[in-house]
Amino acid sequence: MHGPLQMFIRSLHPFLKKTSNVCLSTQRRRALSNGSFVRQLFEQTTSTYTYIIADGKSREAFIIDPVITTVARDMQIIKQLGLTLRYAINTHVHADHITGSGRLKTLLPECRSVISKCSGGKADIYIEHGDEIEIGEKNDKNQRLVLECRSTPGHTNGCMTFVWHKGASVFTGDCLLIRGCGRTDFQQGSADKIYTSIYEHIYTLPDHFIVYPGHDYTGQTSSTVAEEKQFNSRLLKSREDFVKFMKELKLSYPLQIDKALPANLVCGLVDP
Ligand SMILES: N[C@@H](CCC(=O)N[C@@H](CSS)C(=O)NCC(=O)O)C(=O)O
Ligand SMILES: [Fe+2]
């Protein structure tokens, strides 16, 4: 791409000059040109992001971190866009809201719930580091939409991050947040572990990959690996200073924690 359009894009993201080819990497353009897409959805009470990732050709889809109170909205989008929801994935056992994955499964019998093996949560499919979850045309491996599962403990022990390589996107749950990270003061949280998870399994992705977090409390929607490496002040600290900082964070407990944790251990299948 040359000319005024490129100059315009670069003027919006000056720091991306370093990584050139940035937002329009060839792979991502190809993935999106067959109609595949990510739809980011917001739940206002707990500032939670839900993602629908759909394969353009087969119209099969994943949903990541659905919330029980917004299942009706998500169902409407799935229906309107003619999608077949194959997997409802939770990045971890949430403490702040009840997952919508159990409710979605009762409404869409072809949908199976997914969570990490070591999360302690109940699901149809248990994943581990290195597993891949796929949707799309069964007869053509190259056309499949694949999410790589990366174990990124620290916020909880069972936290997973999902990488859509062809879409140059990473879904980080409550591990890496925009200019922040998940708290580490309950659910087997560990500041030391989250620091390792981010440096080894997220910051090692290409700079232009889009970071889609599990929450945002400041009105931001997405970031990139390059941006977070440059501007995430928590992670710019030494490991020792980061651990100290997280210990002193002293956030109040999520308002819904007492009902959310037990419900999410059984896929949210209780009345909200
Ligand atoms: N006030 C919210 C809870 C906010 C909170 O604790 N967020 C978590 C992710 S949800 S488990 C977190 O890790 N925050 C990190 C941060 O730095 O804010 C509520 O009551 O729901
Ligand atoms: Fe969380």
Check which CATH number belongs to the domain holding 86 and give it. Answer: 3.60.15.10
| CA 214 to ligand 1: nearest atom | 9
Q: Is residue 264 part of a domain?
A: no
For residue 9, is pLDDT > 50? no
**Residue owning the nearest CA to atom 2 of ligand 1:** 254
| Domain-embedded: residue 20 | no
Residue 218 lies in a domain: yes
pLDDT band at 24 (very low <50, low <70, confident <90, very high): low
Q: Of 215, 234, 257, 264, which is best to mutate to test ligand 1, by the most ligand atoms within 8 angstroms of its C-beta?
A: 215
157 vs 19, residue with greater confidence: 157
Domain extent for 148: 34-252
Is a pLDDT exceeding 90 seen at residue 23? no
pLDDT-derived band at 186, boundaries 50, 70, 90: very high
Average pLDDT over residues 194-199: 99
User: The complex's ipTM?
Assistant: 0.99
Ligand 1, residue 182: give the atom nearest the CA: 13
The whole-number average pLDDT for the span 108-117 is: 97
Ligand 1 atom 21 nearest Cα: 254
Mutate to test the pocket of ligand 1, among 178, 198, 251 (most ligand atoms within 8 A of CB): 251
User: What pLDDT score does 26 carry?
Assistant: 66
The ligand 1 atom at the shortest distance from the C-alpha of residue 215 is 9
Assigned domain for 228 exists: yes
> pLDDT band for position 139 (50/70/90)?
confident
Residue 86: the pLDDT is: 98
* Cα–Cα distance, 188 to 157 (Å, whole number): 6
- Work out how many domains the chain is built from and give that number: 1
Residue 261 included in any domain: no
Structure tokens given for 164: 């859509």
16 within a domain of the structure (yes/no)? no
Strand partners for 202: none
Reply yes or no on whether the pLDDT at 19 is more than 70.
no
**Is the pLDDT reported for residue 3 higher than 70?**
no
Closest CA to 89 of 114, 111, 116: 114
254 lines ligand 1 (CB under 6 A): yes
Dump pLDDT digits (tens) for 31-46.
676 899 999 999 999 9
Q: What mean pLDDT value characterizes the chain?
A: 91
Confidence band for 4, pLDDT divided at 50, 70 and 90: low
The minimum-distance atom of ligand 1 relative to the CA of 254 is 20
pLDDT higher than threshold 70 for residue 13: no
More confident residue, 36 or 5: 36
On whether residue 75 sits in a domain, the answer given is yes
In this prediction, residue 28 has a pLDDT band, given cuts at 50, 70 and 90, of low
- Is the shortest distance between the CB of 213 and ligand 1 below 6 Å? no
Q: What is the mean pLDDT of residues 3-15?
A: 48
Q: Is pLDDT of 18 > 50?
A: no
Asked, for residue 58, whether it belongs to a domain, the answer is yes
Query: In terms of pLDDT, which residue wins out, 77 or 7?
Result: 77
